[in-house]
Amino acid sequence: MKDNLIKGIRMTVVLLVLFTVLYPAAVWAFAQWAPNNGKGEVVTYKQGYGYANVGQSFTEDKYFWGRPSAVAYNAAGSGASNKGASNEEYLAVVQGRIDTFLLKNPTLKKSEIPVDLVTASGSGLDPNISVKSAKIQIARIQNARNISTEKLNALVDANTEHPFLGLFGPTKVNVLKLNSALDQLK
């Protein structure tokens, strides 16, 4: 019994040092080789700053809209709504998003709206949308900005991020980067 207790205490101390000192130190050291020394990617956007890896709120017709957020895009309060797909309150919120999207994009049918434009992500901070979600918004943005469809399609294509090594993750578009590039078009 005494031997097992001593082994257990030793193992606890070793794992405590490993996971609270050595592992964080190794991650920190590795992050120093990353862009911006592991402090994240800050994008200057208009007069303020935006974080390319945190969802942003764009609601004007002249911008691409991102995923809705259950936490109002507050990175300090990351989280989902925690309501199931059969919850009446949740379904009413999603239906309201669908109605708003259809009102602003009258050429579309309800069945054409990608799910990522009307449902929040698990964190409520997803900065990306699918390529389809970006492309179905082109008609609205073309009308609001008087920019050709070809130019907007090319802009979406230029801002499309492909899976890592062609295998890991989805093809996606970062909304903040896309809208920043959209504002820079002449």
Instruction: Divide the 186 residues of the chain into consecutive groups of 10 and give the mean pLDDT of each group.
Output: 90 95 92 78 57 77 88 76 84 92 90 90 82 94 91 94 84 89 83
Dihedral of CA atoms 149, 176, 123, 132 in degrees, nearest 10, equals: 10
pLDDT at residue number 37? 78
What pLDDT does 158 receive?
93
Structure tokens that stand for 78 in this block? 């990351």
Closest CA to 54 of 182, 174, 173: 174
Cα→Cα distances 177→2, 48, 109, 173, Å = 61, 14, 27, 8
Q: How far is the first Cα of the chain from the last one, in angstroms, to the nearest whole number?
A: 77
pLDDT confidence of residue 81: 74
Q: In Å, how far from its chain's centre is CA 125?
A: 5
What strand order describes the sheet that includes 172-174? Answer: 128-129, 172-174, 160-161
CA distance 148 to 138: 9
Task: Please give the Cα distance from 166 to 123 (Å, whole number).
Answer: 25
User: Distance between CA atoms of 149 and 38, rounded to whole angstroms?
Assistant: 38
Report the pLDDT value the prediction gives residue 139, as an integer from 0 to 100.
92
Query: Are 156 and 181 within 8 A, CB to CB?
Result: no
pLDDT of residue 36: 76
Place of tokens 């999603």: 94
Residue type, 174: N
